[in-house]
Amino acid sequence: MLRQIRADFDRDTIVVYQAYGPAIAKAALAAGRFVAPFSFNRMTWIKPSLLWLMHRSNWARKAGQEHILAVRITRAGWERALSEAVLTSPEPSIHGSAAAWSRAFAAASVHLQWDPERSLRGAALNHYSIQVGVGRALIRDYAEDWIVGLTDLTPTVRKIATMAQSGQGAKAQRLLPPERPYPLDPEIARRIQADT
């Protein structure tokens, strides 16, 4: 399927990934949730695809993205975010006109976009991965109520990167988290333009 959420999830929770610099990551890991210097005044983007985030952060080598966190959140929180999301580009079948989309986008508590999924080596694949931007209206809910646990994946992703670069792709692949199709309510799927 072209647009399908693939994630590591169980009955009650789903794992999303974020990359941060040392100050934010270390404070969050110590507290078990996001605390200052994490900003509660700007949108935070969460991604259920580890390989997409690895492409974005250059395997934890970009400045300000040196720490990779696996953030386990409630499925209820995740689905609330999806149900309030507005796509980052107009979709006539949902918004009607570009002006209506623009108004909805400006007022939205959550932004959402689809980007090409990535392979272990960073190549764009022929299907898409979801990114969800949690805005200021929901960010405290995300940081204080939805989070069930935080795990520092930085050593693991560095190991995977080293293996992939040294021709041990099969071994590296086995260290990736299991990401499988996430079931969606049909109305949410329509809203976010996910294939069902």
Q: Show me where the domains of the chain are located.
A: 6-17+41-52+74-146+153-188
Q: Under 8 Å CB-to-CB from 101, ≥6 apart: which residues?
A: 86, 87, 89, 90, 91, 94, 95
Q: Residue 94: what pLDDT?
A: 87
* 88-107 per-residue burial string, b: 16 or more CB within 10 A, e: under 16: eebeeeebeeeeebeeeeee
Q: Residue 167: what pLDDT?
A: 93
Distances (CA, A) of 88 to 11, 20, 66, 103, 121: 29, 23, 27, 12, 27
**134 has pLDDT over 90:** yes
**95 has pLDDT over 90:** no
Mean pLDDT within 16-31: 98
Q: Each residue of 32-61: pLDDT tens digit?
A: 999 999 999 999 999 999 999 999 999 999
Q: Each residue of 136-171: pLDDT tens digit?
A: 999 999 999 999 999 999 999 999 999 999 999 999
Q: Give me the percent of the chain exceeding a pLDDT of 70.
A: 100
The mean predicted confidence, pLDDT, of the chain is: 96
